[in-house]
């Protein structure tokens, strides 16, 4: 025993030294880290002066954020910062900046911020859908499943193309029924595009006069309008406001109605569900839910089913139908371009056979017109917010983990460094000197990187077949007694054309 005490007394000074050294190294490491963080934060993007409580929210017109972003970009450059109350936000502008973030550093910007204002719809830790889901295992599994299931039901295949061609026929019949009278084509186009996603998600289509279908489409449109404005942003950055009983439901009546409607459709679908006969995406998701605990951990639950189908409906219908409305508006405003499209269709397809995706290669001008519609129409100008997954840098600026990021896609599609006439409708942006189709690298209407639009392939197919079929069958004219349609857009998350009327004269 005395020997052990003696050994302890001999060792104690050494252990004391080690303890002191350990404390010194810990403090030194913390100081170095603090100095590093200070140097990094010194490179945080510049921005307007932040005010108490509201931050920089008063500098942004939430009814027209693009105008505010362009003004701030002129003052602070392509990378600038904002602060919504206590939430940090960085806005990225221009093709080079956005490409660096979304392509070269795709995982750094793959996360999504949390949206407290959507909690009442069912969004939570285990149910986030796909579009708004945080970056992680559950999101990866759901996205992988969704893409593979959509492919199995025809996305990118002849079977879905045939459905789009068939729906284009129904659309032309609806347009023809107007008998050349002035009308607003908005509803007919919405019906056609939404029916394509309906057949994929629920295995059925609706007739254009169906009252249930009309209600669904109105709820879609109302829900999109509710996204813009100051109050939704405030509910998002001050979570306690979102928990005031009844307030979110009052502010987002359309969204609540849409989710209630989707609940009815899913429950009706479940009544006829047969695991041995998978009819559509909903059936495939229900079958995945049957796999038990592992499937549950990967996000396959009823609440996610309703959120994912809602994501597919919104992403797969409203953006495409809005683009088609821009396309027809540009044809009204540029009859000389419409004539060239007619001539190419007559030469390649004729007026009897239905257009197919195989025709696209042989129709460079029509293809260029469709791409220019997407560029100039600029339907999703600021995309969906991203969030940094870890500390990162863009254009030499430091952006810490957990920072909200807005990619100004409009500044990419109208980047003066890449487009000859960025603010004009000019199909030649997509044609080379020999009249062959080319796609400039700054064409990013579907965003890019890990959060690129799920329905890009379907949207491209729909845009070509619907537009080409309509142009094959009709000449679109401005009504003589109507004012000339406006070229500018109205913003409600999407950039949409103002309502207009046209005449469709059979060719």
pLDDT of the chain, 507 residues: tens digit per residue: 554 444 445 545 554 566 666 665 666 555 555 555 555 668 999 999 999 888 898 899 888 889 999 999 999 999 999 998 888 999 999 999 999 999 999 999 999 988 877 777 777 766 678 888 889 888 898 999 988 888 887 665 567 889 999 999 999 999 999 999 999 999 899 999 989 988 888 877 888 888 877 887 787 777 777 776 677 777 777 777 767 777 777 777 878 888 888 888 888 888 888 888 888 889 899 999 988 888 888 888 888 898 888 888 877 788 999 999 999 999 999 999 999 999 999 999 999 999 999 999 999 999 999 999 999 999 999 888 999 999 999 999 999 999 999 999 999 999 999 999 999 999 999 999 999 999 999 999 999 999 998 888 889 999 999 999 999 999 999 998 888 888 877 776 788 999 999 999 999
Q: Taken in order 254, 255, 256, 259, is the CA torsion positive or negative?
A: positive
Tracing tokens 């307007």 back to the chain, one arrives at 48
Are 44 and 59 within 8 A, CB to CB? no
- Which residues, 6 or more positions from 347, have their beta carbon under 8 angstroms from its beta carbon? none
Tracing tokens 């129409």 back to the chain, one arrives at 377
- Which residues, 6 or more positions from 426, have their beta carbon under 8 angstroms from its beta carbon? 372, 376, 420
Which tokens is 456 given?
A: 């890009």
**Interatomic CA distance for residues 97 and 381, integer angstroms:** 16
- Which residues, 6 or more positions from 39, have their beta carbon under 8 angstroms from its beta carbon? none
Work out the number of other CB atoms within 10 angstroms of the CB of residue 22: 10
Instruction: Please state the φ and ψ torsions of residue 143, each to the nearest 5 degrees.
Output: -65, -45
Tracing tokens 């000449």 back to the chain, one arrives at 475
The SS3 of residue 413 is: helix
Which tokens is 443 given?
A: 């064409």
- Which residues, 6 or more positions from 350, have their beta carbon under 8 angstroms from its beta carbon? none
């Amino acid at each position: 025993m005395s020997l052990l005490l003696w050994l302890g007394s001999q060792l104690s000074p050494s252990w004391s030294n080690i303890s002191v050294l350990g404390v010194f190294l810990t403090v030194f490491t913390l100081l170095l880290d603090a100095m590093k963080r200070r140097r990094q934060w010194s490179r945080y993007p510049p921005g307007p002066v932040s005010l108490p409580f509201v931050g920089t929210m008063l500098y942004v017109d939430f009814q027209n954020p693009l105008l505010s972003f362009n003004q701030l970009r002129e003052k602070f450059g392509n990378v600038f910062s904002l602060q919504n109350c206590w939430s940090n936000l960085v806005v990225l502008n221009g093709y080079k900046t956005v490409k660096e973030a979304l392509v070269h550093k795709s995982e750094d910007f793959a996360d999504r911020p949390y949206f407290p204002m959507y909690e009442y719809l069912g969004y939570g830790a285990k149910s986030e859908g796909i579009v708004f889901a945080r970056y992680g295992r559950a999101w990866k599994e759901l996205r992988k499943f969704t893409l593979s299931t959509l492919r199995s039901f025809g996305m990118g295949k002849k079977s879905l193309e045939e459905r789009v061609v068939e729906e284009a026929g129904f659309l032309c019949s609806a347009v023809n029924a107007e008998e050349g009278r002035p009308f607003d084509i908005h509803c007919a186009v919405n019906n056609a595009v939404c029916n394509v996603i309906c057949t994929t998600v629920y295995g059925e289509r609706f007739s254009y006069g169906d009252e249930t279908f009309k209600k669904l489409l109105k709820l879609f449109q109302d829900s999109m309008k509710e996204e813009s404005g100051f109050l939704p942003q405030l509910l998002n950055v001050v979570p306690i406001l979102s928990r005031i009983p009844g307030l979110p439901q009052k502010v987002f009546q359309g969204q609540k109605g849409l989710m209630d409607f989707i609940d009815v459709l899913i429950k009706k679908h479940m009544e006829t569900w047969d695991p041995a006969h998978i009819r559509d995406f909903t059936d495939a998701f229900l079958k995945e839910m049957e796999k038990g605990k592992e499937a549950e951990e990967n996000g396959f639950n009823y609440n996610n089913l309703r959120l994912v189908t809602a994501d597919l409906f919104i992403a797969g219908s409203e953006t495409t139908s809005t683009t088609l409305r821009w396309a027809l508006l540009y044809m009204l405003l540029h009859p000389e371009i419409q004539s060239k499209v007619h001539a190419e269709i007559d030469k390649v397809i004729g007026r009897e056979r239905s257009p197919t995706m195989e025709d696209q290669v042989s129709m460079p001008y029509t293809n260029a017109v469709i791409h220019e519609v997407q560029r100039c129409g600029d339907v999703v100008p600021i995309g969906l917010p991203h969030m940094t997954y870890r500390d990162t840098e863009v254009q030499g600026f430091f952006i810490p983990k957990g920072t909200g990021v807005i990619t100004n896609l409009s500044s990419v599609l109208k980047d003066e460094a890449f487009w000859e006439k960025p603010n004009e409708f000019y199909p030649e942006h997509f044609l080379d000197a020999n009249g062959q189709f080319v796609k400039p690298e700054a064409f990013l209407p579907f965003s890019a990187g890990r959060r690129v639009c799920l329905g890009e392939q379907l949207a491209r197919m729909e845009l070509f077949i619907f537009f080409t079929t309509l142009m094959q069958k009709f000449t679109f004219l401005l009504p003589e007694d109507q004012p000339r349609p406006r070229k500018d857009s109205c913003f409600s998350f999407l950039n949409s054309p103002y309502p207009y009327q046209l005449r469709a004269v059979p060719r």
